[in-house]
Amino acid sequence: MKVLVTGGAGFIGSHVVDAYLEDGYEVVIVDDLSTGRLANINPGAKFIQMDICDPRLSEVFERERPDYVNHHAAQMDVRRSMVEPLFDAQVNVVGSLNLLECSRKYAVKRFVYISTGGAVYGEPEYLPCDEAHPIQPICPYGASKHTVEHYLYMYAFNYSLEYTVLRYPNVYGPRQDPYGEAGVVAIFSGQMLKEEQVVINGDGEQRRDFVYVGDCARANLLALTVPHPSGIFNLGSGRGTTVNAIFCELKAITGYSRDAQHGPEKLGETRTIYLDARKAREELSWAPQVGLREGLELTVEYFRLNEILD
């Protein structure tokens, strides 16, 4: 069986590629390397450098004939979506539609779509958020990612394209960009290992649902191996952890000597969010297995050994 993975050179996507290859799948990666890295690409996969908005994507489907599509490629920076909402929609909505059309034309069996549990719900009416929680995003990123969920339902209804939506929590772990604008664990780890000043946006009491990347990769494998009806699934731990708590844990792990400084809050970011993943447990047999402290230690060790931190 062959899986086409978009964004397979990225942080999470590359771990998903590894999981598929280890389970015996043939994998084709489509990534434009705008944020992904060549170093993340598993040599066992076939790599095609291409933007998902490119009309030549249909030629890739014609040639490769994937059985499944796993769609990780996205504009995923909340802050950039606030500044460039048109770009956000072009990548996340139009690019996804390009993939859906190719999947329809070339009889893909199942489309695994990565959505966001951290941004589609907005400021929660209740916690933890389950899949029935009202959708009320407060940033273009959350709106664009949710829009594609509607298209998936339509393609299933009209063309019988089976789909699995995985709404991610705050995913962290090895290969996350420590120099980017997203991913507080990676950013803090990189700064602490270099003894640079860590700045926390706002008061640090924002609460997030942190799940280790290996656990999310396993969910993507289960999406293809466990029979289930088309639908939407939260991934999460069911509990929130403050940014201040993450800082303290990482400070202890790295031996960082400074206190954090606090800067202004970022527009469009949800204050508190954590997710109810009971549906994923019941229908996909998924639950997180890596505890927060263990995951943070694995992440720091990766950055200590693999990133250039001088």
Q: Is 285 left (phi over 0), alpha (psi -120 to 50) or beta?
A: left
C-alpha torsion angle, residues 86, 231, 239, 141 (rounded to 10): 0
Q: 141 catalytic, yes or no?
A: yes
Give the tens place of pLDDT for each residue, 142-192. Answer: 999 999 999 999 999 999 999 999 999 999 999 998 876 668 999 999 999
Parallel, antiparallel, or unpaired: how do β-strands 110-116 and 199-201 relate?
Answer: unpaired
CATH class of segment(s) 2-170+212-234: alpha beta
139 C-beta neighbours (distance < 10 Å), count: 25
Q: Does pTM surpass 0.85?
A: yes
- What is the CATH code for 172-208+238-275+290-306? 3.90.25.10
Q: Is the dihedral of CA 124, 87, 211, 307 positive or negative?
A: negative
If DSSP codes are grouped into helix, strand and coil, which group holds residue 92?
helix
Give the tens place of pLDDT for each residue, 191-250. Answer: 999 999 999 999 999 999 999 999 999 999 999 999 999 999 999 999 999 999 999 999
Distance (Å, rounded) from C-alpha 55 to C-alpha 228? 32
Report pLDDT for 307: 66
If DSSP codes are grouped into helix, strand and coil, which group holds residue 266?
coil
Among residues 141, 155, 168, 274, the one annotated as catalytic is 141
Say if CB 189 and CB 222 are below 8 A apart: no
- Ordered by start, the domain boundaries in the chain are 2-170+212-234, 172-208+238-275+290-306
Q: Is 297 left (phi over 0), alpha (psi -120 to 50) or beta?
A: alpha
